[in-house]
Amino acid sequence: MIIPVIIYILFLIVYIVFALFAVYHVRRFGFIGDATRYVTIIFVILSLAIIIFTAFYIFSVGWDQSFDFSIFGF
Amino acid sequence: MIKLERRFPGQRDEEVTVLLARVHWFRFLGHIFLTLLLAIIWFVALFLLQAYLSAFLTGMWGQVFVLFSGAYFLFVLLFLFIGWLNYYLDVWIVTNERLIDIDQKSLFDRSVSQLSLRKIQNVRAEVKGILPTLLRFGDVDVESAGADVGRFSFRSIPKPFEVERKVLRLAQHVSEQVGEKEGVGTKSSAVHGGRNGLG
């Protein structure tokens, strides 16, 4: 069941687009000698950390199982 | 006049930045609390799932939950970053030539207003309320001579009375310079200042 991974990847694409817009905006309209550079670096590092962690997770587990609806009492 | 090292987009070569004011950090606390709340919601959800539906955290559902958690935290991170961006890039700049109001409303919504120091007629600072008084932030209103700008406002900025003094001094200085160039002998200036609230 690869669908959750596909949905996650689609979310990731949208996220990266918005993140790039935000970083571009900060770089263009931020001020030299200000905190914009450091905050942008922290944001990028944290984003990459989460994305890399989830990427490792996606490749480390199998996605060929099906959903077990019996846990909800069905 | 102190020349700040910061330079802003559109700054002229001979222009000196005298002051750069932002909204007081207190106004950003709401956004920080909202971000923390979003993060706490995830922990609460995890706790409830472990307590009442622990089977949800195993198998395929558990794997999906991990992916969802990654996406959720990315969303929270972006929410915080954009909120910070809207707060931090919303500035008022006072130079030796003009006042600039950069209003960052949202990620794709930004406006810039300028007012020449020569057009300033009145500067007024106001601190209203208990928290603004204790934390020393308030508003500064600058009235201009022209009808195109009208009133130029600094909202919820730190040390508003100090900003008022600086803007007033700069405006009077420019007014005197203009007077000298036009051959006016008197040093009197039509620029007035005013205060409202505890100084």
Name the residue among B9, B70, B198 with its Cα closest to residue A55.
B70
Q: Roughly how many angstroms between the first and final C-alpha of chain A, as a whole number?
A: 20
B129 shares its domain with B65: no
Dist CA B42 CA B51 (whole Å): 14
Q: Is residue B100 part of a domain?
A: yes
Q: What is the pLDDT of residues A51-63, one digit of tens each?
A: 999 999 999 888 8
Name every residue in A having a CB less than 8 A away from some CB of B.
1, 4-5, 8, 11-12, 15, 18-19, 21-22, 25-26, 28-36, 39, 43, 46-47, 50-51, 53-54, 57-58, 61, 63, 65-68, 71
Q: Find the CATH number of the domain harbouring B142.
A: 2.30.29.30
Taking only the tens of pLDDT, chain B with its 199 residues reads 444 455 677 788 888 888 888 899 888 999 999 999 999 999 999 998 888 877 777 788 888 899 999 999 999 999 999 999 889 888 899 998 899 988 888 878 888 888 888 888 889 999 999 999 999 999 999 988 765 556 788 889 999 999 999 999 988 888 887 777 666 544 444 455 555 443 3
Same domain, yes or no: B78 and B136 = no
Helices then strands, each counted (H, E), chain A? 2, 0
ipTM for the predicted complex: 0.89
In a domain, B2, yes or no: no
**Quick one: chain A helix, strand, coil %, rounded to 5?**
75, 0, 25
Domain boundaries, position B37: 29-86
Q: How far apart are CA B157 and CA B134, in angstroms?
A: 13
Beta sheet of B120-126, edge-to-edge order: B151-158, B137-144, B120-126, B192-196
pTM to 2 decimals? 0.81
In chain B, the DSSP E strands lie at 17-22, 91-95, 98-106, 109-116, 120-126, 137-144, 151-158, 192-196
Which of B20, B82, B91 is the closest to A22 by Cβ? B82
Structure tokens at B64: 């999906």
User: What tokens does A24 get?
Assistant: 């571009």
Residue B126 covered by a domain: yes
Kindly state whether residue B54 falls inside one of the protein's structural domains: yes
Residues of A within 8 A of B60 (CB-CB) are 1, 65-68
